Structure 1
Amino acid sequence: MTKRNMELSLKQREEVLEILKDRFDTNMNRHKDLEWAKVQAKLEDSTEKLWSLNEMEITKGEPDVVGYDKMTDEYIFYDCSAESPKGRRSVCYDREALEARKKHKPENNAMDMAAAMGIELLTEEQYWQLQKLGNFDTKTSSWVQTPANIRKLGGAIFCDRRYDTVFLYHNGAESYYAARGFRGSLRV
């Protein structure tokens, strides 16, 4: 992906900033003690990150600020859509899994899609943090970053929320389902 492709027009930047501000204001429980003006200043200085947030928005991730890292001076965004982002479902875990499928291959895989968007899949720990902010994935599930030892054996992990409980599961990395996508994170 070239840098040219990762640039938004002025109008697009204004639109995504407005969407992010509205979501920020509507969901203050996700980012207590944070100020939108400071978040916006960081976003305006980081056009590639704003592009990534726009990609998260386009694929129905509804990105929002969920924290601030004082050590790195970065705001942390997660996909906060109620269900796994609609524009990122029906994908297997990674390219290796996609290439291993002989029949009925999905169109894409979670790891490549995330990389193309400039984001990372949530880790298991980040997924648990997200679930403290609300009830997510009550009808869908989301791939999360899989430890190398599990992936080496052909598996991948995903999470969801059922029965008011967050679950961590495993599946073959090449599997894909209409209700399974992935959630991303981005530091700005």
Structure 2
Amino acid sequence: MRKTGQSKAGFFGAWRSQTANNGQPGWEFIDFVNGVSLPANNTSIALAPIPSLNNTPGLSLFTQSDSGALTQLTFDGESSFKETVLNRGFDSKAMIVAFSTGFNDNGIDNPLGFQVLSVEVSAPVYLTYYQSRSWTSAGQVSALSDCSARASMAANQGQRIYCVVGDEDGVEMVEWSLQADPNGHSVDFDNYKRIGTVKTSV
């Protein structure tokens, strides 16, 4: 999928297909409002890849539904989307970030996993994770408590989290790194180390 959007009717999307020829990309469109819950207005959208060694890679979108639930939309890499409503609800607009680990293949030592972090303004950061083909709504991630006040977060596939942190002296962007083995014990999944301030210049 190369482009996604939101309308009053629901989600719509487009992807570049294998119909490309003569150097021109072929585009196909999908309106998958049927069978997919309406998203909340101005929902945060997190994107995480679904890598595979032997199968077609896919994508996962994580959004906040109109009913306030954390929702996963899985694109199979071909043309189909599947919706999974996760056991995490929100009372207000939430920031959602996510990254994936491993590969979507059977019988390998590094299976597919996800970490999804969500936060509402002035509320704790919560973890929802996928391991052993099952979703779990875990508790607060106290190591990321500095992210709560502004609820402004980002994540990357390097298992790094970035938050805007501020006080009366100003704001800064701070980086954290996951210290747990994604294939290890889930009790360690909230173990993040503060790396420090990201040096930026304008």
TM-score by length of 1: 0.28
Report which structure shows greater RCO (CA 8 Å, sep ≥6): 1
Query: Which of the two has higher C-alpha Rg?
Result: 2
**Counting strand residues as a fraction of each chain, which structure ranks higher?**
2
TM-score by length of 2: 0.27
**Counting helix residues as a fraction of each chain, which structure ranks higher?**
1
